[in-house]
Structure 1
Amino acid sequence: MKQIKTYHHKKILVLGLAKSGVTAASLLHKLGAFVTVNDKKPFSENPEAQGLLEQGIKVICGEHPIELLDEGFELIVKNPGIPYENPIIQSAIEKGIPVITEVELAYQISEAPFIGITGTNGKTTTTTLLYEMMKAGNKRPLIAGNIGTVASGVAEQAAKEDTIVIELSSFQLMGIKTFNPRIAIITNIYDAHLDYHGSKEAYIAAKANITQNQTEAEYLIINADQEETMEIARHSDAKIIPFSAKRVLEDGAFIQDGWICFNDEKVMPIAEIALPGTHNLENILSAVAAVKLSGVDNHAIHEILTTFTGVRHRLQFVAEVSGRKFYNDSKATNILATINALAAFNSPIVLLAGGLDRGNEFDELIPFLKNVKAMITFGQTAPKLERVGKLAGINVMERVDNVDKAVPAALAYSQPGDVILLSPACASWDQYKTFEVRGDIFIEAVHKLK
């Protein structure tokens, strides 16, 4: 990593722990900063904070006391999940104290260039595909960000010859100052996280930060079929590389005569792609554009796209039991993601759905429920989903306590040849800590049927 002197003897507050906070605090300590960590979880229940204290880092746990700012901090590194309405953050902004997220720190110390991927849906699939294709093409990728490994931890180990492939949320992108990926991708933009951002305009502005520091020396890969993404492109100084799954483009990534194409080159036939779902063609096109710009050959692209069948919890095939195929799409935390999942299958579907009630209705699902023969609901939104199920003409519905009980109920209403699909259309937080936990419970319940 770069041995930067930026933070030497600077007083820095790391607000919120989890993986990113722990890594950022340790890194700043190594860079010579005077680090204080503040986390809401009590110290006695906080092994992460206990470990940082053993390193000699000051730790304050149990609350976020506003008096902390009286200590004269010169920078705050904020956990992305902490909203900007937090009193400490609000006070820091008023005092002119810079607030960044750990991604910015990763960029400042990294010797390796970045490929950054953001968007409402498809980020993880695109990031994983891109990483796998670059690996197959011997381009030395490292994977980081929301997909698993903390960015600053990866950057600390990265060499100049590596490329960091990073999935980025809108929360992370709100806290960047100089972050500048060599290639940026915006997969798509739909209404999401409005409870955090306050408006769609603020959400789009956060996503647009991925390209705010790019110049004509960098690339912005953008969905050509969305006005929201094209508007971002119009305000970017980067070289724009469009992609479209709906029409032939003059350049960029697109589909023509049954082939994935990049500029004037045919890359591979779409019939040979293993990943299900028409929505995944957009993810594939954006990833192909990025790896072609990175010098990956078509053989490596073909090798991955003919074998890659999906990411865990994202339209993931789990098993076939008694002639029924079970798919785990627990990452479908919004309506659009569930629409995409439903559109991926022609077989009769038993849909498992429900979760956190954010105040929205689900009427947008109705046109896409035509193949759904039965619906198993759970969580806070069960009554709302049952209402749209009735409007869509679904006669078989059952409400259960949780995902574990939904699986055997779905089996009872299915027949050989059916698809049993967990695609909740909701966040998991009413019953489960994360969508990953929800998906793992589904997988375990499916294997119990065997």
Structure 2
Amino acid sequence: MELNNKNILVVGLAKTGVACARFLAGRGARVTVTDMHDEAVLLPQLAQLAAWNIRKVLGRHDEGDFTGADLIVVSPGVPQDHPLLVKAKAADREIVSEIELAARFIDVPLVAITGTNGKTTTTTLAGEIFKANGYRTFVGGNIGNPLIELLESGELVDQVVAEISSFQLEWITAFRPQVAVLLNLSEDHLDRYADYQEYIDAKLRIFKNQDESNFAVVNRDDELVWKYAQGLKAQLFPFSRRQELAEGIFHRDGVIVYRHNGREECFPTNAIRLQGVHNLENIMAALACALLSGCRPDDSFEAVQGFTALHHRMEFVAEVNGVRYYEDSKATNVGSVEKALESFDNITLIAGGKDKGGSYTPLALLVKERVRHLVLIGEAAGRMQAELGHLTDTRLATTLEEAVTLAGHITEPGGIVLMSPACSSFDMFRDYEERAERYIAAVKRL
């Protein structure tokens, strides 16, 4: 792809936009960056561009920049239906996402992982497995560093492992992973998409350009994933924790079994440190990515055994008066909370936050069977109480700290207090990390 002297517009100056602008300018493109924030807000980002001759349009967007560009690179936060992108598309301007731009220049195998939940854990673990097998591995995408930063750095690698969001997949045209993973599907980001189907369609684009030489690693136990996996061009490789598979990777009687082309490998799960039924799925998906890519079974499983939970994902905080406290602040949708509830019994669940538009009723059976007390906070508390409150003892709290104190009073020894919100954090906190920190501090005060 020739970039020299091309007129390229970068829309959005978050981390991805800044990295794209630097890369493009370094390849000789005439770059314009545009962002609705003004210069005062964007000073840290602008400082990273100071060494480059880049035109800046801040505090506004100019239509001519969109309709006159040879190429438009869109940051993930910019929706597809933005009026100026609609006009640019009508003017036959080429529009791509950062991952599409990066993939056109990446010449090593790429593993791409998406899904509503578990992406970060699976991506990080897969990266560790490749590294344990001696591969020089770049791990990034929707976590850590954007893919474009690998190209900008000039780092020599053998393998790329990327977490990919639905937003990043919206503007791909040729992005083609050697191994593409769809972990699960549940309602999310309905504040961005017109409906659930539009969100699903965005996720499925990860398989769009694969062919028979590639692999599609999919969750056999997720009905929606399995339904949409039928008819893919890539070789289908399922994972399951509920059923035995003739071809794929599955869990049975404390053993993970990998079967591919007549070969079988077995991995006992008793020494694995990463706990939770959802993490069993993440482990199988990560192992599938690595083994299908030629990694050695022994080195791969050794990496799995040494891997522990990531921050803010089902993380053990403390035991106080015989009650164990877990923090799962990254659980910002219903599907993620389902997995968390499947991992415990006798739960006091702290949930709530900024509502994202989906239904909470998929949690009903698990709440009825496993949640002894439900403590609700935030903007979504009223809706959650209406949909779930009749199923168990339900209380309301005005702050997270109050919720933790209340949970400590009502949970009997042997019980679990789990903060797994099913909502985003933006009604009460800066982000999910601040919510986690506040929860941990409240537990420690107990």
Shorter-chain TM-score: what band? over 0.9
Instruction: Tell me the equivalent position of 2:255.
Output: 259
| 8 A Cα contact 2:71 2:95, kept in partner | yes
Q: TM-score, normalising length from structure 2?
A: 0.92
Relative to 1, partners in 2 of residues 1:448 and 1:307: Cα closer, same or farther, differing over 3 Å?
A: farther
| 8 A Cα contact 2:125 2:283, kept in partner | yes
Instruction: Tell me the equivalent position of 2:435.
Output: 438
Match of 2:120 among 121, 124, 128: 124
Shift of 1:196: 2.0
Shift of 1:20: 0.3
Asked if 1:355 corresponds to 2:358, the answer is no
* Equivalent pairs, count: 441
Instruction: Tell me the equivalent position of 1:191.
Output: 187
Instruction: Tell me the equivalent position of 2:306.
Output: 307
Match of 1:34 among 26, 30, 46: 30
Instruction: Tell me the equivalent position of 1:427.
Output: 424
Match of 1:21 among 11, 17, 20: 17
Tell me the SS of whatever aligns to 1:25. helix
Shift of 1:17: 1.2
Tell me the SS of whatever aligns to 1:327. strand
Instruction: Tell me the equivalent position of 1:297.
Output: 296
Tell me the SS of whatever aligns to 2:40. helix
Deviation sequence 1:67-123 (CA, Å, 0-9, x none): 4335x2111111111111211111111111111111112112223321000111211
- Percent of counterpart pairs with the same letter? 37
Tell me the SS of whatever aligns to 1:271. coil
Query: 1:446 is aligned with what amino acid?
Result: V
Shift of 1:324: 2.7
Query: CA separation in 2, counterparts of 1:159 and 1:239?
Result: 31
Query: CA separation in 1, counterparts of 2:338 and 2:223?
Result: 20
Query: CA separation in 2, counterparts of 1:315 and 1:146?
Result: 20
| 8 A Cα contact 1:309 1:316, kept in partner | no
Match of 2:396 among 377, 390, 398: 398
Query: 1:408 is aligned with what amino acid?
Result: T
Query: CA separation in 2, counterparts of 1:389 and 1:232?
Result: 30
Instruction: Tell me the equivalent position of 2:141.
Output: 145
Query: 2:272 is aligned with what amino acid?
Result: I
| 8 A Cα contact 1:332 1:426, kept in partner | yes
Instruction: Tell me the equivalent position of 2:382.
Output: 383
Relative to 1, partners in 2 of residues 1:418 and 1:436: Cα closer, same or farther, differing over 3 Å?
A: same
Query: CA separation in 2, counterparts of 1:353 and 1:230?
Result: 29
Asked if 1:271 corresponds to 2:270, the answer is yes
Query: CA separation in 2, counterparts of 1:161 and 1:50?
Result: 28
Structure 1 residues without counterparts, runs of 5 or longer: none
Instruction: Tell me the equivalent position of 1:412.
Output: 409
| 8 A Cα contact 2:188 2:356, kept in partner | no
Shift of 1:202: 2.4
Query: CA separation in 1, counterparts of 2:373 and 2:85?
Result: 47
Query: CA separation in 2, counterparts of 1:256 and 1:355?
Result: 37
Relative to 1, partners in 2 of residues 1:154 and 1:217: Cα closer, same or farther, differing over 3 Å?
A: same
Shift of 1:361: 4.2
Query: CA separation in 2, counterparts of 1:271 and 1:332?
Result: 26
Asked if 1:9 corresponds to 2:5, the answer is yes
Match of 1:367 among 347, 365, 368: 365
| 8 A Cα contact 2:239 2:250, kept in partner | yes
Query: CA separation in 2, counterparts of 1:387 and 1:214?
Result: 44
Tell me the SS of whatever aligns to 1:197. coil
Structure 2 residues without counterparts, runs of 5 or longer: none
Tell me the SS of whatever aligns to 1:374. strand
Match of 1:112 among 108, 111, 121: 108
